[in-house]
Structure 1
Amino acid sequence: MKIFALEDEMNNHKKKKVINDKVWILISIAIAFLVWYLLSIGEVTQRSFPFIDKVVNAIGKMVERGVLFQDIKSSLLCVVAGFSLGFVTSLPIAFLMAWYKPVQKILEPWINFIRNIPALGYAPLLVITFGVGKKPAIILIWIATFMTMSITIYQGIKNIDVTLIKAARVLGASDKDIFFKIICPAVVPFIITAVRLGLSAALTTLLAAESTGAQAGIGMRIRSLSNSFESDGMLMYIILLGIIGLILVKITDFIERRLTGWQEKI
C-alpha cells in the first residue's frame, strides 16, 4: 500500500510541475507581448517594432510575393547541410585531439584562432573562392559549427574521470571495451551540449552566410527588407528564425532524454 501511495504522490507531483510550467510559460508570453506592445507605441521604437497585427500582415505579403516558403526552405537546407558537415567532421577530430597529444598540439590553437573570428570576416573570401549561391553559405555554417562542436566535445572527453579508465584496465578491459563502454557513454552529454551550441552557431551564422550572394533565405530577405525599410517584414523573419531555433532546441531535448535517461538532473 505504501508503494502505491508513493507512486500516487510522485504522479501528483509531476502533474503539479507540468501545470506550474505551463502557467509560467503563459506569464512569460504575456510579459513578452506587453513589452512588444509598449515598444510598438513608443515614440522612438514604434517604427522598428510594429505590433503583431502588422507582422501577421507581413506574412501575407511575403506569401503573395512567393518568397516566404522559398526562403524557409533555402535557409533550412543551408543550416542542415552546414550543421551536418560540422558534426560529422568535429566528432572524429575531437576524439583524435583528446587521444593523441600531437594532433591536439597542432589543431587546437588554430581552431581557437579561427572560431574567434566573426563569420562576416571571411565570408567574402569564400565568395571569391566558391562563387555565389548556397555553396559558400553551407561552407561558412560548416566552419562555424565545426569550430564550436570540436572544442566542446574535446573538452568533454578530457574531463572524463581517468580513475574509471585505470580501474577498467586493472580489471582487464581492452581498449575497445574502454572506448565503447566508458568513454562513449560518458561523452554523450557533452556531444548533446555540442549539438546545442552547434545549432546556435549555425543559426547565428545564417545572416552572414546568406550575405554571400544567396538568391533566397531568411538572412538574405532580412537584409533585403532592411534596404527598403520594411520593418514589419524584417521583424516577421526575425521571429521566424527564433521559432525555428526553438523547434531545433525541442528536438535536441527529445534526443537528450532518449540518450541520457540514466543521468541524474536537478
Structure 2
Amino acid sequence: MSAPARSVPPETATAAMAATRARRPRRAAAPRPHRNPVVLTTLSIVAGIGIWWLLAILGFRLPTPIEVITRAGELIVDGTLIGDLGASLARVLTGFLLGTLVAIPVGFLMGWYTWARGLIEPWIQFFRTIPPLAIIPLAIVLLGIGEEPKILVIFLAAFFACVISTFQGVVNVDRTLINAARVLGAKDGAIFIRVAVPASVPFILVGMRVGLGASWATLVAAELIAAQAGLGYRMQQAQLYYDLPTIFVGLIVIGIFGLIMDRLLLLAERKLTGWQERR
C-alpha cells in the first residue's frame, strides 16, 4: 500500500509559491520608443542652427545662416552648385559601388574558406592600415590626373570598410544553424547560399554604411587631384579667398546628401533583415 498523502498547511504552500516566484528571473522592461521622433529631430535642428547663429553674432569667425543661404542661392542660379554636386556624386557613387561590389565576394571568400583567409587576410589587414589619402601620390604617378585616381582612393575607402564587415559576418554565422543544415542533408553550396549569406546581410549593410561615410570623407582630398569641378574643389578654391559662406555651403551639401544616402541604406537594412528577431 502506498503511504497516505500528507496534507500541506496553507501557510507553507503560500510561502513556497512566493519563493518560487522570487527565484524566477524577471524580464527586463523593453525600452519605450519615442512617440514623436520628428518633433525631437526638428527641435535638434532648430537648436543647432540657433547655436550656430549665436556664435556668428558673438564674433566667432562664422557666416550667419542667412549669408550661407544667400550664397547657396547664388551658386544654384549660376549653375555652379549643380555642376559641382553632379561631379562629386558621380565620383562617390562610382568609387563606393565598385568598392562594395569587389569587397562582398572577397569577404565571403575569406570567411568561408580557410585557405583563402590565410592567403588574403594578411594583405587586407596590412593595406587597410594605410590611409587611402596616402595613396594619392602613387595614384597620380600610376594613373595620371584624370578621374581614375580620384575614384581609386574613394574605392579603397569603401572596399576596406565593407570587406572586413562581410568577413566578420561569415565568420560569426551561428554554427548551430550550419550543423542543423548538414544534418538535414544540405551540401556546402546550399548551406552557403541558404544560411551564410542571409546571416551575413546585416554585417554587409553595416559595412556599406561605414564605407559610404568613408567615401564622402575621402572626397575632398580626392578632388585635390587636379579637379576642375566638385564640392571639395569648390571648397578649396573658396579657402584661397577666405570665402567662408561657400565653404559652409559645400559642408552642408555633403552632409545632407551623405545623410540621405545613409538613410536609404538603413531603410534597405530594415527591409532585408526583417526576418531577424528584434530586441
TM-score by length of 2: 0.84
Distance 1:34 1:96, change over 3 A: same
Pairwise CA distance, 1:206: 0.6
Give the corresponding residue for 2:165: 152
Give the corresponding residue for 1:38: 54
Specify the code of the residue in structure 2 equivalent to 1:118. Answer: P
Among 131, 134, 157, the residue aligned to 1:121:
134
Where has structure 1 moved over 6 Å in runs of 4 or more? Answer: none
Aligned-partner SS, 1:222: helix
Q: Percent identity?
A: 40
Q: Please tell me whether residue 23 in structure 1 is matched to residue 39 in structure 2.
A: yes
Among 41, 50, 63, the residue aligned to 1:50:
63
Higher relative contact order (CA 8 A, sep 6+): 1
Structure 2: unaligned runs, 5 residues or longer: 1-31
Give the corresponding residue for 2:15: none
CA distance in 2, matches of 1:111, 1:214: 29
Pairwise CA distance, 1:240: 0.4
Specify the code of the residue in structure 1 equivalent to 2:38. Answer: K
Q: Please tell me whether residue 59 in structure 1 is matched to residue 75 in structure 2.
A: no
Give the corresponding residue for 1:187: 200
Pairwise CA distance, 1:262: 1.4
Structure ranking higher in helix proportion: 1
* Paired residues of 1:119 and 1:208 also in contact (CA < 8 A): no
Deviations 1:20-63 (A, max 9, x none): 111211221122112111221233x2x2x211110011113323
CA distance in 1, matches of 2:108, 2:273: 20
* Paired residues of 2:153 and 2:222 also in contact (CA < 8 A): yes
CA distance in 2, matches of 1:156, 1:182: 11
Deviations 1:203-226 (A, max 9, x none): 111111111111111111111111
Aligned-partner SS, 2:36: helix
Give the corresponding residue for 1:175: 188
The range that moved more, 61-70 or 23-32, is: 61-70
Aligned length: 248
Give the corresponding residue for 1:200: 213
* Paired residues of 2:161 and 2:208 also in contact (CA < 8 A): no
CA distance in 2, matches of 1:65, 1:131: 31
Specify the code of the residue in structure 1 equivalent to 2:194. Answer: K
Q: Please tell me whether residue 68 in structure 1 is matched to residue 81 in structure 2.
A: yes
Among 106, 121, 129, the residue aligned to 2:119:
106
Give the corresponding residue for 2:14: none
* Paired residues of 1:124 and 1:212 also in contact (CA < 8 A): no
Specify the code of the residue in structure 2 equivalent to 1:224. Answer: Q
CA distance in 2, matches of 1:110, 1:117: 11
Give the corresponding residue for 2:24: none
Pairwise CA distance, 1:239: 0.5
Aligned-partner SS, 2:275: coil
CA distance in 2, matches of 1:100, 1:178: 13
Give the corresponding residue for 1:235: 248
* Paired residues of 1:132 and 1:213 also in contact (CA < 8 A): yes
Aligned-partner SS, 1:261: coil
Pairwise CA distance, 1:96: 1.0
CA distance in 1, matches of 2:278, 2:40: 20
* Paired residues of 2:132 and 2:153 also in contact (CA < 8 A): yes
Query: Which protein shows a greater Rg?
Result: 2
